[in-house]
Amino acid sequence: MSLVRLNIKGISYSQTQNGAYALILSEVDGDRKLPIVIGAFEAQSIAIALEKEILPPRPLTHDLFKNFADRFEINVKQVIIHKLVDGVFYSSIICERDTIEEVIDARTSDAISLALRFNAPIFTYKNILDKAGIFLKGSESEQDGFEDDLLVDQLIIEDDPVESNNYKKMSLSELNTSLDEAVAAEDYEAAAKIRDEISKRN
């Protein structure tokens, strides 16, 4: 079976499951997206790994694993999403130490959190992408019969407009103070939104 490389397109709150998030992976050499429902903690961990400017005051679980692996010279080479059963994705982490490879079973959200921290590529098999891949709005999905608008609308909603407007009303110094407070409180979702507002003004 052929492997297909994936990139992380983004994370959005899931309308289909309370307290869950939709991690959207995109096909590197194609238009399909692979939505995976993950928990809030895992979404936060992935968001922190993506936001290089946000540094938690203490290591999160995946940061601890990275520090542990570095100390014992274990490298994560790649992550493979290898199975889909009843809507649940199964993944493997391919590790290497002293030229010896090991395959470790992992939850997909954990595997992707670690892949980001090790700068390791993420793959899935073509048959999984054929089965669970969707086309986002604006892509040529009609030829394959995907009801992409319905699927994506069920998975993704935009940021809270009220919260976004509140950030727009704040001064730059207030935003920087709020960013520090959000990071100290480990509210990294809010920190990412504040950082985005600061970036727009710089």
Q: How do residues 123-178 score in pLDDT, each as one tens digit?
A: 999 999 988 888 765 444 433 433 333 333 333 333 455 555 688 888 888 888 98
Residue 185: burial class (beta carbons within 10 Å; 0-12, 13-18, 19+): exposed
Q: Does pTM surpass 0.85?
A: no
What is the separation, in whole angstroms, between the first and last Cα of the chain? 47
My answer on whether 105 and 41 are in the same domain is yes
d(CA 157, CA 45): 20
Average pLDDT for residues 62-66, to the nearest whole number?
A: 94
Average pLDDT for residues 3-27, to the nearest whole number?
A: 83
Which residues have C-beta within 8 Å of that of residue 71, sequence separation ≥ 6?
A: none
Average pLDDT for residues 72-90, to the nearest whole number?
A: 94
In this prediction, residue 15 carries a pLDDT of 57
d(CA 123, CA 6): 6
My answer on whether 190 and 123 are in the same domain is no
Question: CA nearest 36: which of 117, 134, 103?
Answer: 134
pLDDT band of 106, cuts 50, 70, 90: very high
Count of Cβ atoms closer than 10 Å to residue 60 Cβ: 18
Structural domains counted in the chain = 2
In this prediction, residue 200 carries a pLDDT of 76
My answer on whether 177 and 120 are in the same domain is no
Number of residues that make up the chain: 202
pLDDT band of 94, cuts 50, 70, 90: very high
My answer on whether 36 and 81 are in the same domain is yes
My answer on whether 152 and 171 are in the same domain is no
